[in-house]
Amino acid sequence: MITGVHSNGDGKVKWVSTDWLEIILDGDFMILDAQPDVHDYIKEHIPGAYYFNEWFLRQMVGNIPGMYIPQDAIESIFSKQGIQIDIPTVIYTGKGANSKIGDGWGQTMAAYSLLRYGHNDIYLLDGGIDKWKEEGRELTKDFPTIKESKFDAVLREDYYVTYEEFKATKDNDDVIVLDARPFKYYASESLWSKPGHIPGAVHLQAAALMHPANRQLMKPRDEIETIIEEKGITEDKKIICYCGTGREATNLFLVFKWFLGFPDVKIYEGSFTEWTQRDDNPTVTGPNPY
């Protein structure tokens, strides 16, 4: 039985336990290892998993780094990987046994990317490979052989908003904008060219919904609902998530859309990087949205 909560919406994303994954290892599933470096995969991975490097899916477009590569390139990569739209696909990541650089978001970024281009059946391993290892489950150095597929991408434009759409709607009464970055970035100077956050954005760090010691492990649903309630976030609003480059925000997108079942959730993919490079857009410092 699948553990975790999912499909208040259309059920394309599910969170599953390590017990569940161990049971289905020999089933008709694809497993993608999205650890931060290929050497992490080489050192150890879950049996049957294929290495998937989500960093190759984005590039610089114009003066904005971190935007998706052309769709035909995505189709080529997914086809070479053997990914198929309707084959159930488990995705996991971890801290990186060799690199030690995992931030936890490879799992949600890879999932969002597959969904963005038409995948219909994604399973996120709750706790990732780190929980799998803590429980003493089997790891391997053997590599399965990929069978190439024909992946015909179907771009889901309803999952994200462009810069123009974001700027036109972000201040509407029926919209809540969420900044998924750490609070120090939200409130003050950081690595971007301007300090603070986009005016009106509410701070909700993506990591706040996850276990402090494991960013792949969800907090209990009641704790997440309490956090959401304290932020004043309600289902009657359109939720637009952003972060630095749109990667960290994928966690909020997946949680709100498929764990909590909010009806209208988007990502502003260009995020703070694009906002600070366009026109003379203002930013706000300090703990408050405005």
**Residue 105 belongs to some domain of the structure:** yes
- Does residue 165 sit in the same domain as residue 262? yes
The verdict on whether 241 is a catalytic residue reads no
Give which of 5, 242, 213, 36 is closest to 124, Cα–Cα. 5
pLDDT of residue 10: 65
- Asked if the model's pLDDT at residue 59 lies above 60, the reply is yes
Q: What is the average pLDDT value for the chain, to the nearest integer? A: 95
**Residue 5 belongs to some domain of the structure:** no
pLDDT of residue 6: 47
Give which of 2, 256, 255, 281 is closest to 107, Cα–Cα. 255
Catalytic residue, from 74, 240, 243, 284: name it: 243
**CATH code of 254's domain:** 3.40.250.10
- Does residue 192 sit in the same domain as residue 244? yes
**Residue 146 belongs to some domain of the structure:** no
Q: Please state, for a pLDDT cut of 70, what percent of the chain lies above it.
A: 97
- Does residue 124 sit in the same domain as residue 171? no
- pLDDT single digits (tens) 225-280: 999 999 999 999 999 999 999 999 999 999 999 999 999 999 999 999 999 998 89
- Asked if the model's pLDDT at residue 1 lies above 80, the reply is no
- Does residue 21 sit in the same domain as residue 115? yes
Q: Give pairs for 74-78: CB < 8 Å, separation 24+.
A: 74/113, 74/117, 74/153, 75/117, 75/151, 75/152, 75/153, 78/114, 78/117, 78/149, 78/151, 78/153
**Residue 290 belongs to some domain of the structure:** no
Mean pLDDT of all residues in 68-91: 97
Amino acid at 215: R
Q: Please state, for a pLDDT cut of 90, what percent of the chain lies above it.
A: 94
pLDDT of residue 7: 45
- Does residue 171 sit in the same domain as residue 127? no
- pLDDT single digits (tens) 169-206: 999 999 999 999 999 999 999 999 999 999 999 999 99
Question: What's the domain range around 128?
Answer: 13-134
pLDDT of residue 3: 46
- Does residue 198 sit in the same domain as residue 265? yes
Would you place residue 113 in the very low, low, confident or very high pLDDT band (cuts 50, 70, 90)?
very high
The total number of structural domains that make up the chain: 2
**Residue 269 belongs to some domain of the structure:** yes
Please write down the HEC assignment for all residues of 120-136: CCEEEECCHHHHHHHCC
Mean pLDDT of all residues in 74-94: 97
259: CB partners within 8 A, 6+ apart: 4, 5, 6, 13, 15, 218, 221, 224
